Structures are given as C-alpha cells and as structure tokens.
Chain A
C-alpha cells in the first residue's frame, strides 16, 4: 500500500549547523510532496513543496531534494536555529492528475537544535 516513511526519527544538531531530514516514499505515482513543521501543541506549518517534475527547490534557508529513482525526499535546513526545533513531516499527494486529494504523511522526525 501507499506509505511515506522516515529514515531517522530523531536528529540533534548544534546551532548554526546544517540539518538534513530524510524521507522515503513508496508510491511512484505521487506527483506532489510537501514538508511540514509541527511545534508542540500546534498544527502543521507549511515549509516547502516540490512537484514530481522537479528534483530541487529552494526557499529561505531550506532546500528540498527529490530523487524519483530511489523514491527519496530530503529537507535541508541551513544554519539551523533553536527556533527550528520541531517535528518535521513529509507528505505526499497522489492526485491522479488533479490538484486535490488526501495527503499521506510520514511518521515524523524530531529535530532538536542545541544552542
């Protein structure tokens, strides 16, 4: 069945370091991927997205890489800050050619940034 999973459930980094959070997905038909950040007691916050016809997309301090050959997604955070500490989820959408539908979420990676 469809699934999105993460390689590392926890990640601890020092402030100022770069962080890389990984995600594996199994549905090769998925055409849209999103990274969300969730802080304790809050809803998921959109970080960055990427479509299946791209392999890299950059935002402010964040970069998402998509490797469709091995069905792997990663989120890179540059110069990680204490405020980046949160749970990070990848999610995939298999919209069947439309733009709408259910997201399938991974389990989450806990990122802890030490000052």
Chain B
C-alpha cells in the first residue's frame, strides 16, 4: 500500500508568488491534516479537512493561506503572495481513525 504522498518535494518561489502543495492520503483515509515545521522545531498544526469540508483551521493564518480537499483529487495547501517567513517544511498526514501517518513533506524556500 502506498503511503501518504506529497508533491513537489522541494519548491522554490520568489516573494509575491503563489505556492501550491499537494497531498494524496493513504488509500481508505478520509481525514487529512497539514502541519508546518520550522528548522529545529516540532510540527505545528495548521488545518484538518475531510472530503470537501474544513473541520478545524485554527492553526492556519487568516490571510494568504487556504486549504481544500475536494471530492476527487488530492488535498491542496495554497499560499498566496509568499513571504520569506513562509519558508518551512510542510507535512501532510492522513488518518482512518486516530493514528495520523505522515508524508515526506514539501520543503518550501522563498527567495
């Protein structure tokens, strides 16, 4: 069984551009979570989604960030007008019940 897949693995953007990060959950998992990790730190929760619904977005900045998990296709984390402070590793996790399994992450670098 394939694990959680994320792409791209590395993404470079200039300030002001948009970043789109994709996550395909494990087969049979309908719960998707996005986390952000800064260097030398733990993961910080951003958003929790089920198919077509945002359940908890308490960790996501109110501006420039959005997430979706459509009925068909991967979950997307979108960052508009990126700034240098957005540089981080973004991890997606999926679950069937309570155990969350993580993908390899997307490392975003903003120049």
User: DSSP class of B's interface residues: helix, strand, loop or mixed?
Assistant: strand
Max chain A Cβ within 10 angstroms of own Cβ: one of B44, B45, B91, B98: B98
Please tell me if the beta carbons of A103 and B100 are within 8 angstroms of each other in the complex. Answer: yes
The answer to whether B42 and A108 have CB atoms under 8 Å apart is: yes
CA distance A89 to B55 in the complex (A): 25
Is B1 at the interface (CB under 8 A from chain A)?
no
Q: Interface residues, chain B, CB within 8 Å of chain A?
A: 4, 6, 31, 33, 35, 41-45, 48, 55-56, 58-59, 91, 93, 95, 97-105
Q: Which A positions have Cβ atoms within 8 angstroms of B?
A: 32, 34, 36, 42-46, 49, 89, 91, 93, 95, 99-108
Cross-chain pairs A/B with CB under 8 angstroms, 22 sampled: A32-B98, A34-B100, A43-B6, A43-B91, A43-B103, A43-B105, A44-B91, A44-B102, A46-B102, A49-B98, A49-B99, A100-B31, A100-B95, A101-B48, A101-B56, A102-B45, A102-B58, A102-B59, A103-B35, A105-B43, A106-B42, A108-B42
